[in-house]
Structures are given as structure tokens and as C-alpha cells.
Structure 1
Amino acid sequence: MQAMGRPRSALPLIVGVCLVLVLAVGVVTDSRTRPPREPFDDDSPFRTPVAADTPVDPNSAAMVARISRDGVMYANLVEFAIPIYSANDDTPRFRVSCTIKDWGPCPFDGHRVPIPEDAVPSPGSDGAMVVIDHDRRLVYEFWRAQRHGDHWTTSFGAINDLDGSGWGTYENGFSTASGASRLGGVIRVDEMRRGVIPHALALQSDSVCAEVFRPPAVKTDGTYEGPDCIPEGARLRLAPDVDIDAFGLAPAARLIAQALQTYGAFVVDYGGAPLSVSFERDPAAGRHHPGETYGQLGMPWDYSMIEVPWEHLEVLA
């Protein structure tokens, strides 16, 4: 028991404790609420809001009718979701070879590619995977990736600049049919948790035009020849005068509608559905499950259907 005596001032102790608490709270608040830096340059098409007066494609109504014929947009949450990993100078390096030899030089030739030991490609036929090297500001992107002991193979891939445009070049390789970065436009798990998607979206469709594409796309794998085909590289948006709150959308659909209205979305690849949107594979999810974050927002299964107000979608000129 403490002996009785003249009470000492507690002010220094209180001040010290308060200072520690203020500093601690400041650190926690900063790390939890500050949005992570977005990939790609501020002028990247993925990061640039759509101007309200952007012209609409004369064939917009026909294209929208074609891609909306199922009445929904499908969310790629498991089979074709994008596993995204972080790497730094301490991450193990691997040899990566391309199995497709007639698309030009393999972008990984001469590189020791950083891939975390626990990295696993998406379980679908795309075998997609992205590794962000934050120390070197590079994005390593893989299509049909497989590990073979101490090396990896991939059908093809790309090495893109994390501070670049988000669209590849023939020198850097390609991991999507349009040339878009595999990271570009992907809806991240953390964005869904925070309730904001601060970039354009990445879309796939079974109705992409054969041979026809438009910038920022640099190529296409489209096969559809109908007059209502939509080119890879085309940008869609939700009309700027639409009141999103008037539709009573589910949480996930509302987030996507907000992104579509502010930033729009790019058609970046062929897909098996009329229209689908790319999501990050939740690293905490089971092999055949989308994960808790998506489930809580009303997307409890792969290819969850997201209703959007199709009648107000526009394909931009």
C-alpha cells in the first residue's frame, strides 16, 4: 500500500498519457481511413472522371440493348476474379517463361520476377494473377499462370508501370485482349469495405466487335460481327443526370452505379456473359467462396447478379 503523504501533481502523468493516446489514435485513424494510393497516373483513363458533356455514340442504344439482354451485370468474384499480391525487394524471385511464342518476345525474359510464396492464380481458365512490386513501381501480370517448383510459366503476360496509364504496349506485353493492365479497373476488396470505387471499371462481354476496337485499347479478341457489337476500349457510363438513390439499389449495385456515373467503365476483354465486371479475389475467402466482404454486400456467390438502371447507360463516342 502506498504511504500517505503530500499528494503529487498528476498533471505530468495525465499530459503524457494523453499525448500517447493522441499519437496512437492519430496513427490508427490515418492508416485505417486514408485511402490507399490509386494505381496509375492521375491522367490515366481509369482515374479520369467522365465529363458531363462527353458525346454519346450514335449506336449506343443498340449496343446497350445487346449487352443488357440478361437484364443484369455479372460480378466475377471467384473463378475469374483477379488475385492481387504485393511484393517488395524481399519477395522471392522466380524465372517466368511464356508458353505462347508467336505473340512477340515474352515480357518476363531476362527478369527475375517477384512472386510471393503463397501466390495462387485465379481458379478459372484464365489463371489470372497480378503482383504489384511497390519498391520498383511495377505491375507483373499473368494470364494462365502455373507454378512448376522453382519456376513459373504463363501463356503470356505484361510488366506495366504502376505510375503509367494503365494500358500496355507491345514492348511491355499484354495480359488482356484490349491491352489494358490486368490491374486496371479491378474493384478491390478494400474499396467495397470503404464504400467508394475511385476509378473506372473493367468490363468483359461476349459481344465485343471482331477486328474493331477504339483507344485506349490497342487490339481486340472480339469475334461478334453483329451491328450492335461493342468495341473493346469503348467507355460506358451511367447518365450524369440520373438520381441513383431513386432506384433503391442493393449496396453493391449502388457502389457500382456511383462509379459508372463518375468514372464510367471500359470494355477490356471477351467474356462468356453478355456483361461482367472484374473484382479482386478476396484473399481471405475459401477456394469456392467469394468471401465475407462481398457476401455482406449482397453478393454471396460467384457471378452474382448486379442490377443496374440499363435504360440510363450510355456508350460514349
Structure 2
Amino acid sequence: MTNPEADMGKHAVQKTWWFGLHPKWHVALIMTVVAAVAIATGAFIFRSQTTSAGATLANPFATNSPFNTTIAGNAQIDPVSQAMIARATRDGQVYASTVEFGIPIYGADRRTPRYTVNCTITYWGPCPFAGKQVPIPNGARPHSGSDGAMVVVDQGANRIYEFWQARNSGGKWTASFGAVNPLDGSGWGGASTGSGASRLGGVVRIAEIERGSIQHALVVQSDNICAGIFRSPAIKTDGNSTRSDCLPEGARLRLDPTLDLSTLQLTSGERTVARALQQYGAFVIDIGGSPLSMSFELDTRAPAGSIGQVYERAGFRWDYDGMSAIPWKRLQVIR
């Protein structure tokens, strides 16, 4: 317990000390305290801005996110790798999903219109958009595939809004489900993909193909996803395969790093993807309709019937281009 009389005596000493000072020192002391608070506050603001400055619309997630870390040169190969890769690459293609299942990615700021977005699936738990005014730019549209995927990044608010089966009817937005993830987080959380990966995570971006460099792990989908089994960093699975060569969600694939890409007749787009697969690999994140497909950003400015000029100049011929010059049999599943 405290002693009230002792506290009163202490306050009296403090009061006497204060009023014993010349008034000009009152001002000086106040200004010193104000300056110190301003410096401390400024330092806090600077630290906060510095912490989040590394994660942007163009370069999302924390630097130590699984998406932003390279694969160690001495990484061990899964004992079942050969069988899993044989099944996943049985048609010699990994399909570039650039249009029907290409991911439309939009930026938002404080001027972007806000909407109440309801989830039509209610038995999965609370809707991630509940209680939020969700920014969705005018003209935004999900892709035309059955996933109805769409991503909106509010960089100022440090949020990624991820929609699964998004719909706009009469100016009102709904989604079957989705996720809201921190832009500077790990890139894993929520239910916008079967594995819990962020829908923004690992997508091959248009600007990356244009500059010929991808500095993050990619993401793939397969028609042979293990039922009931997943690996970190995945947090769940929607797999249904009981085959011994199934791919678990969260598994990381890479292209054999001893493969000399300069000896291959690759398009510039294939070379960019292959180099990223050697350095960063690709995470298995969802069920797909083909043996293996890869997520690309949808070019929302491309005319109807086109995959977009950047993709075309890089040698991609159509939606679901199989990137067949890459020797897909040289993929490996990391243990």
C-alpha cells in the first residue's frame, strides 16, 4: 500500500522545486521536454515507417517471409521427389495462368471507394471482411475463372484484401470467402487459397517479366494434392488425393540448380521463371485442374483475347502456355 502522507510530502517538495525556479527556466524546461517528446515521437514514426517500408504493392511481405527467402544450396531432396515430379510433369508442361485464372491485382488509397463485403459461405467461420469498409477501385473485376479471385492492396493501411469468388451485383460486392492479411506479414493466413497462402503471394508479376527478374518464390497448383497432409508454411489443405505420389500443400519445389540455363533455347519469359525457380522455388498452394500450373498476374489493361503485350514480348503465346522449353522433369521437391 502507498503512504498518502509521504506522497503529499513528495509532491510538496516537487512543487517547491518548480516554483523556486525563475519563470524563464520554466519555459526552457517545457521546451526541452517538448523537444525530447518530439524527437522520441519522430524516431518512433521513422522506425514504424522503416519497418513497413520494405513491404510494398510491388514487393510484398516481410524480408523473412518464406516467399522472400532463397533455397539453401545444400537443401535436402524429398525421398519421394522423383515420383511426385513424374506425376506432376507427366505432360511436360507447367501452365502459365495468365488470363482465365490470372490474378487481378489492384492498388487502393484513401480516395478509393469503400464497400461492405459480405461472405456467402457462413459455415467456415467469421467473414474476414466483417466490420471493415473494404477498398475496391472503380472498374475492379475478379478473373473469369471459377475461383473468381481478386486482390486489392491498401499499402497505406498495410492490408491485403483477398477475395475468393468475388461478385459485384448492382454496385454491391460479395465473396464466397477470402482473407485480409498484413502487407508486411509472412504471406500465409486466411482462406483465400486452399493452403492458407496469401492470394498475392508468389504471383508472377507483369513488371517482373518485363524487367526479366523475379526476386521471390512462385506458387503452383496441381490436380494431385494430398488429402489431409500439408507442410509448413501451409496452414491447411483442400487436397483430396490418396496417391503415394501426391503433392502436399506447402511443399516447395525448385528447378535443379545445377541446370545451366544458358544451354537451353528459352524465351525471355521462360528464362525469368526458370531462374526464379532455381533460386527461390515455388510453393504448392492449391488444387488445380491440370497436373501443374503457375499463378501469373492478370494484365487488366490487355484487350479482349490478348494476354497482354508484356507477356507476348516475353514469348508467352496464349493463356496456359506450357513453358515447354523448361525441362520440367528437373524439378525437385525439397524435403
Superposition TM-score, scaled by structure 2 size: 0.81
**Among 278, 281, 287, which residue is 2:295 paired with?**
278
From the two aligned structures, give the one with the greater helix fraction.
2
Distance 2:191 2:154 in 1: 17
Match of 2:276 in 1: 259
Pairing 1:93-112 to 2, within 5 Å after superposition: 93-112=114-133
Does residue 232 of the first structure (1) align with residue 249 of the second (2)? yes
3-state SS of the aligned residue for 1:144? strand
How far does residue 287 in structure 1 lie from its aligned partner after superposition?
3.6
3-state SS of the aligned residue for 2:67? coil
3-state SS of the aligned residue for 2:179? strand
Match of 2:323 in 1: 306
Gapped regions of structure 2 (runs ≥ 5): 1-55
**Among 132, 143, 153, which residue is 2:164 paired with?**
143
Amino acid at match of 2:158: R
Q: Is the 8 A contact 1:78 1:288 kept in 2?
A: no
Does residue 297 of the first structure (1) align with residue 314 of the second (2)? yes
Q: Give the structure with higher Rg (CA).
A: 2
How far does residue 270 in structure 1 lie from its aligned partner after superposition?
0.4
Q: Is the 8 A contact 2:226 2:240 kept in 1?
A: yes
Amino acid at match of 1:288: G
**Among 76, 86, 98, which residue is 1:65 paired with?**
86
3-state SS of the aligned residue for 2:87? helix
How far does residue 36 in structure 1 lie from its aligned partner after superposition?
7.5
Pairing 1:65-144 to 2, within 5 Å after superposition: 65-144=86-165
Match of 2:46 in 1: none
How far does residue 288 in structure 1 lie from its aligned partner after superposition?
3.3
Q: Is the 8 A contact 2:57 2:153 kept in 1?
A: no
Q: How many residue pairs end up in the alignment? A: 279
Q: Is the 8 A contact 1:115 1:131 kept in 2?
A: yes
Distance 1:287 1:144 in 2: 21
**Among 196, 200, 222, which residue is 2:217 paired with?**
200
Q: Kindly, what percent of the aligned residue pairs are identical?
A: 55
Match of 1:211 in 2: 228
3-state SS of the aligned residue for 1:46? helix
Superposition TM-score, scaled by structure 1 size: 0.86
Q: Is the 8 A contact 1:178 1:233 kept in 2?
A: yes
Summarize deviations over 1:228-278 as a string: whole Å, max 9, x none: 001010000112222111122122111111000000000000000000000
- Between 51-60 and 144-153, the greater mean CA deviation after superposition: 144-153
How far does residue 134 in structure 1 lie from its aligned partner after superposition?
1.0
- Between 38-47 and 238-247, the greater mean CA deviation after superposition: 238-247
Match of 2:29 in 1: none
How far does residue 185 in structure 1 lie from its aligned partner after superposition?
0.2
How far does residue 148 in structure 1 lie from its aligned partner after superposition?
2.1
How far does residue 301 in structure 1 lie from its aligned partner after superposition?
1.2
Distance 2:119 2:312 in 1: 36
How far does residue 286 in structure 1 lie from its aligned partner after superposition?
2.2
Amino acid at match of 2:211: R
Distance 2:218 2:224 in 1: 18
